[in-house]
Chains A and B, each alone.
Chain A
């Protein structure tokens, strides 16, 4: 961990209210480049809401969200959603997969490169007349998509409708699509949900590989503890919108507040066992 360097993302006193409901209550944390930061918590803890605030789908009620990309800093709460993805470089996946189902797998990956392709097609004119500059950009985009298809093992299904893929493939395709937009921060919302153990293992490798090869910072919401404990560098625990713990996987696992949140206060026995299982 490079503590000296600036964090990639700083979440400062983030609060999100929906009418009377406080979905996020004064949460602060950092995320660093090339690190996997997991956000865990029981159902309804406010994890997805954090993502929605980060990616501009919700305007936070209070708080400051800063993303540092190179020398530039972006104040996310003041930006429009599409600029957060396009300029600041935050990409995300969704808890319920959101692919462009009736479009082919390859097309999904090309849509993700919309910004660079659009610039190359010069407001569609270069594209309409098939100018060489556009053709070149198009080929580059396809090569990049091909690289990602190879990585997620979908090359042979490139021309099929994304909606026809099996569930596990769709999850991986969504990650590849997010990565095709060249993000500095990748937000994954429960990527392992609905996967079998073998697929989950593959997913772990994919995420770790992305971090290693691209230096992308990763925010990971996950219920599957085998994923969280295996690959994350840093875990944040939310409960009822509040941050109740923050640290390395081992620290969090041993934190009594976390055990209480997950197992309920009364159940002393289990708490002790879990504690013991967490080890020294």
Chain B
């Protein structure tokens, strides 16, 4: 009803259509009243000896006022008064932050001689969030009016330009982010932060791995966690049964997972689209069920415990008092023993592994095989007509992806020290896939951003308790509405005939190094 036309053609001063605004806001307030009176106004409370009905009418009043004011804001925006809404939205958000709306109502009620209602933080969140959203929307309109950009088309193009620009910056952002990642354990010398960063990096690595199948080759794989599991169990079994070192098992786990990718890849090659997705989903589940039921081999639901932790490249152990003849890490460097050493070591390990995956993916994208993957995603019929063997190309994509997943899996196993089929549920595949899609299919930088949002945010929002998943879901919806093709969906060609001016080329396999050094990115267009 509202979001369709924001004609901003005439900027001349106009009278504010109070009548429409009040009518619409009135209707909205009425609907809010109908909804809120039952859902918010009355609730059951456990009291001694049973349940009792409690009322929260003050909350209802606040909710209705918020809906009323918010609707006026929407109307104002539609009628071409974004500046007013911008200021109002910011003011509302700020007010909400400083003074919870319920307090105002409480004060009024108290002044009228009523009793103060209990505080509800939800309304405060709503006021702040609503204000911010309205303000953002209005700011967007103001900005658009100034540039006199009109068509939807142009708008999405300007967004595309923006993400192109960001993508261009990744030439600089990449190293900065990597430097930050390297410095992180020393910037935040605390266990929880480093653990969280390790978790985020694990998902970044997995998503970069999955990106090869999904983002480049365009095959929707819903069972990626299977390869993660194969890698984890490979390491766990090899280490606990044969006592093999982590450093031998790591590449081995990758190879075993790649083999699993090859084996699982074969039967699904002929399938396309939804059928492919469903069958990979099935395979993911099959692997998990096998792990669950093959008790003698995998320990079934009990999982595998006391998986050896990695040594310091075989030179030293991260233990306080290692066995005879083994050096301890802290002795080796003359440090005080601390459990955080291993945590930091694991962090750097996953950082190196993730960067390795990134390096290979970026490089492979510029090779014939990488281009063939993308061509396959674009049009597989045309691929065949150009002599590309689709079967081999798809299998290669599967093997690369699965191999990286396997390496990540063995890292997971060594970090946890315990694995069981519980850790390899479908939801893991879904989260990894969501990171890839949210980041913008095929975009390396987008995946980092999305992983930080997807994995980091729920941890940060932990304080919101039960609203955590709600906030998380809302965030996803907002991103998908705002950028349906992902956060950084812009794609740079893998090779250029005319290198862009003022942008440094990081890679030039073509041997065509951009002559110009990096100049400032002025808005020369």
Whether B510 pairs with A142 at a CB distance below 8 angstroms is yes
- The contact of A177 among B364, B386, B389, by CB within 8 Å, is B386
CA distance A159 to B511 in the complex (A): 17
CA distance A127 to B494 in the complex (A): 14
CA distance A55 to B385 in the complex (A): 7
By a CB distance below 8 angstroms, the chain B residues around A98 are: 379, 381-382, 385
Whether B494 pairs with A107 at a CB distance below 8 angstroms is yes
By a CB distance below 8 angstroms, the chain B residues around A100 are: 374-375, 378-379, 382
B78 near A: Cβ within 8 Å?
Answer: no
User: Which residues of chain B (479-525) have a CB below 8 Å from chain A?
Assistant: 491, 493-498, 509-511
A248 near B: Cβ within 8 Å?
Answer: no
Question: Measured between C-beta atoms, what is the minimum distance from A171 to chain B in Å?
Answer: 14
- The contact of B495 among A57, A91, A106, A149, by CB within 8 Å, is A106
Whether B491 pairs with A102 at a CB distance below 8 angstroms is yes
Q: A85-B386, A128-B360, A159-B493 are known contacts. Are A107 and B381 too (CB-CB below 8 A)? A: no
Whether A114 pairs with B388 at a CB distance below 8 angstroms is yes
By a CB distance below 8 angstroms, the chain B residues around A139 are: 510-511
Q: A115-B387, A138-B510 are known contacts. Are A158 and B375 too (CB-CB below 8 A)? A: no
Q: A139-B510, A181-B387 are known contacts. Are A103 and B493 too (CB-CB below 8 A)? A: yes
Q: How many residues of B contact A (CB 8 A)?
A: 33
B368 near A: Cβ within 8 Å?
Answer: yes
CA distance A107 to B382 in the complex (A): 14
Whether B382 pairs with A135 at a CB distance below 8 angstroms is no
Whether A82 pairs with B379 at a CB distance below 8 angstroms is no
CA distance A235 to B490 in the complex (A): 47
**When each residue 377-416 of chain B gets 1 if its CB lies under 8 Å from chain A and 0 otherwise, what string results?**
0110111111111100000100000000000000000000
User: Which residues of chain A (149-194) have a CB below 8 Å from chain B?
Assistant: 149, 155, 158-159, 177-178, 181
Whether A112 pairs with B511 at a CB distance below 8 angstroms is no
Whether B386 pairs with A121 at a CB distance below 8 angstroms is no
A44 near B: Cβ within 8 Å?
Answer: no
A111 near B: Cβ within 8 Å?
Answer: yes
B469 near A: Cβ within 8 Å?
Answer: no
Q: Which of A99, A111, A113, A158 has the most CB of B within 10 A?
A: A111
A240 near B: Cβ within 8 Å?
Answer: no
Q: Which of A57, A83, A86, A107 has the most CB of B within 10 A?
A: A107
By a CB distance below 8 angstroms, the chain A residues around B374 are: 100, 102-103, 107
The closest CB in chain A to the CB of B372 belongs to A114
B125 near A: Cβ within 8 Å?
Answer: no
By a CB distance below 8 angstroms, the chain B residues around A117 are: 368
Q: A100-B378, A110-B495, A159-B493 are known contacts. Are A91 and B510 too (CB-CB below 8 A)? A: no
Q: Which of B386, B388, B493, B510 has the most CB of A within 10 A?
A: B386
The closest CB in chain B to the CB of A111 belongs to B375
By a CB distance below 8 angstroms, the chain B residues around A124 are: 364, 367-369, 396
Question: Measured between C-beta atoms, what is the minimum distance from B174 to chain A in Å?
Answer: 19
By a CB distance below 8 angstroms, the chain A residues around B382 are: 94, 98-100
By a CB distance below 8 angstroms, the chain B residues around A142 are: 495, 497, 510
- The contact of A106 among B360, B387, B396, B497, by CB within 8 Å, is B497
CA distance A220 to B383 in the complex (A): 21
The closest CB in chain A to the CB of B500 belongs to A159
Q: A82-B388, A114-B372 are known contacts. Are A135 and B498 too (CB-CB below 8 A)? A: no
**When each residue 89-103 of chain A gets 1 if its CB lies under 8 Å from chain B and 0 otherwise, what string results?**
001101000111111
By a CB distance below 8 angstroms, the chain A residues around B385 are: 55, 81, 85, 91-92, 94, 98, 178
Whether A106 pairs with B368 at a CB distance below 8 angstroms is no
The closest CB in chain B to the CB of A174 belongs to B382
Whether A118 pairs with B375 at a CB distance below 8 angstroms is no
By a CB distance below 8 angstroms, the chain A residues around B364 are: 124, 128
CA distance A15 to B364 in the complex (A): 43
CA distance A155 to B379 in the complex (A): 23
User: Which residues of chain A (11-36) have a CB below 8 Å from chain B?
Assistant: none
A223 near B: Cβ within 8 Å?
Answer: no
B468 near A: Cβ within 8 Å?
Answer: no
The closest CB in chain B to the CB of A108 belongs to B375
B371 near A: Cβ within 8 Å?
Answer: yes
B363 near A: Cβ within 8 Å?
Answer: yes
CA distance A114 to B491 in the complex (A): 21
CA distance A142 to B371 in the complex (A): 14
CA distance A83 to B496 in the complex (A): 29
By a CB distance below 8 angstroms, the chain B residues around A94 are: 381-382, 385
Question: Measured between C-beta atoms, what is the minimum distance from A87 to chain B in Å?
Answer: 8
Question: Measured between C-beta atoms, what is the minimum distance from B225 to chain A in Å?
Answer: 26
By a CB distance below 8 angstroms, the chain A residues around B367 are: 121, 124, 127-128
A264 near B: Cβ within 8 Å?
Answer: no
The closest CB in chain A to the CB of B360 belongs to A128
CA distance A107 to B493 in the complex (A): 7
CA distance A81 to B509 in the complex (A): 31
By a CB distance below 8 angstroms, the chain A residues around B493 are: 103-104, 106-107, 159
Question: Measured between C-beta atoms, what is the minimum distance from B60 to chain A in Å?
Answer: 51
Q: Which of B363, B369, B378 has the most CB of A within 10 A?
A: B378
Question: Measured between C-beta atoms, what is the minimum distance from A149 to chain B in Å?
Answer: 8
CA distance A155 to B494 in the complex (A): 17
The closest CB in chain A to the CB of B368 belongs to A117
| Other A-B pairs, 14, CB within 8 Å; known A107-B495, A135-B509 | A81-B385, A82-B389, A82-B390, A85-B384, A87-B387, A94-B385, A100-B379, A111-B388, A114-B388, A121-B368, A134-B509, A139-B510, A159-B493, A159-B497
28 A-B contact pairs sorted by A residue (CB < 8 Å): A81-B384, A82-B384, A82-B388, A82-B390, A85-B385, A86-B387, A91-B385, A98-B381, A98-B382, A99-B379, A103-B378, A104-B493, A106-B493, A106-B495, A107-B374, A110-B371, A110-B495, A111-B372, A114-B375, A118-B368, A124-B369, A130-B509, A134-B509, A135-B510, A142-B510, A155-B497, A159-B493, A181-B386
